[in-house]
Amino acid sequence: MTESGAGLPPVTGAWRAGDPPGARQWFTGPGALALEAGGALPEYTLAYETWGRLNADRSNAVLVEHALTGDSHAAGPAGPGQVSAGWWDELIGPGKAFDTDSLFVVAPNVLGGCQGSTGPSSPDPDGKPWGSRFPALTVRDQVAAEAALADALGIDRWAAVAGGSMGGMRALEWAVTLPGRVESVLVLASTARASAEQIAWAAPQLHAIRSDVAWHGGDYYTAAEGPHRGLGVARRIAHVTYRCEPELRTRFGNRAQEREDPLRGGRFAVESYLDHHADKLVRRFDAGSYAVLTESMNTHDVGRGRGGVAAALGRVTARTVVASVDSDRLYPPYQSDEIAAGTGGTAAVLNSPYGHDSFLIETEQIAGLVKTLLG
């Protein structure tokens, strides 16, 4: 494993025009997007991918929502324009849980992201990178952009909306904001509102990025170097919260990395593991998007302006399945229980040693939940 940050390009990995498109398609919004915090995004584009076919009465569409550093490539192999296989590849496809022989699956890249959708690395109306001028976004803003995409696709009502972590926030926000457009919803390892601890875990990540000398106040897109070191530190912090102590203890203990000696400046095996994940992220993700999306998660609260969380959850009319992970230290089960109780939905628990990341790993258990969801 290499040390994170070695030999990186000047600016971290936002998708750019001219890059191989993969299976991406693009939707451009019909006009300015009014933002919850005030003001508007004058124009915006969402990248998205689809699998299967929309049926004649447009009743078989499923929206799949990715997590913080995910993208629209939810299914399919790695290849040109796609650095890895789809993050839910085992769940989406012919004969799989989201059976594309009968369903039309849509996965958009979130607004504020960097894999083809408008974000801080994107050009503003004058053609300059948005950078520090990119507006603050909320989960509601992101859902509003996705609703415009659904309109453009001719989808009045989703048969299901599903997602985990940040994707679960958007799935739940869909069901609260637009209850008439969601028939069923699957929320995995997520919450109705960010907790103090989740915001606290995010704080040092944001400080790491913004303290990088290459951050340049967020306007680094034309600089010789981008803040990949700060982004790498942020990823190391985050990844610890994505797994759990028993797994790290079993896999690594306090063992030294092979051919390295911590008494002589070498790394522990667990440090090498974190370096590896940091290195992977900084080669494909933009620090500005990481900051924008992290702050949208921090401000997530379905009860804001709606009389509180209980009142907001009471708006949900969709058939709801909510699953926590028994080893999740970042989104503890009580948060999923609150959603299930408030929506009258089915509560489930993923039994896994992999912590929060289980919503990406435990695909057999999730397939069972999808079956329950879709009947």
Question: Which sequence spans correspond to the domains of the chain?
Answer: 25-194+302-374, 198-295
User: Active site includes 277?
Assistant: no
CATH topology for 25-194+302-374? Rossmann fold (3.40.50)
- Angstrom distance (rounded) from CA 357 to CA 375: 26
Per-residue pLDDT of the chain (375 residues; tens, 9 = 90+): 333 333 333 344 566 666 666 689 999 999 999 999 999 999 999 999 999 999 999 999 999 999 999 999 999 999 888 889 999 999 999 999 999 999 999 999 999 999 999 999 999 999 999 999 999 999 999 999 999 999 999 999 999 999 999 999 999 999 999 999 999 999 999 999 999 999 999 999 999 999 999 999 999 999 999 999 999 999 999 999 999 999 999 999 999 999 999 999 999 999 999 999 999 999 999 999 999 999 999 999 999 999 999 999 999 999 999 999 999 999 999 999 999 999 999 999 999 999 999 999 999 999 999 999 998
Active site residue 165: yes
Q: Which two tokens stand for residue 370?
A: 């999808």
Measure the CA angle with vertex 139, ends 207 and 34; round to 5°: 105
Residue with tokens 């996965």: 107
Q: Which of 160, 162, 161, 169 is nearest to 190 (CA)?
A: 169
Catalytic choice (165, 296, 327, 352): 165
Q: What is the CATH number of domain 198-295?
A: 1.10.1740.110
Return the SS3 of 8: coil
For 208, other C-beta atoms within 10 Å of its C-beta total 22
Residue in 66, 228, 300, 356 annotated catalytic:
356
How far is Cα of residue 234 from the mean position of the Cα atoms in its chain?
A: 15
Active-site entry in 71, 212, 279, 328: 328
Active site residue 337: no
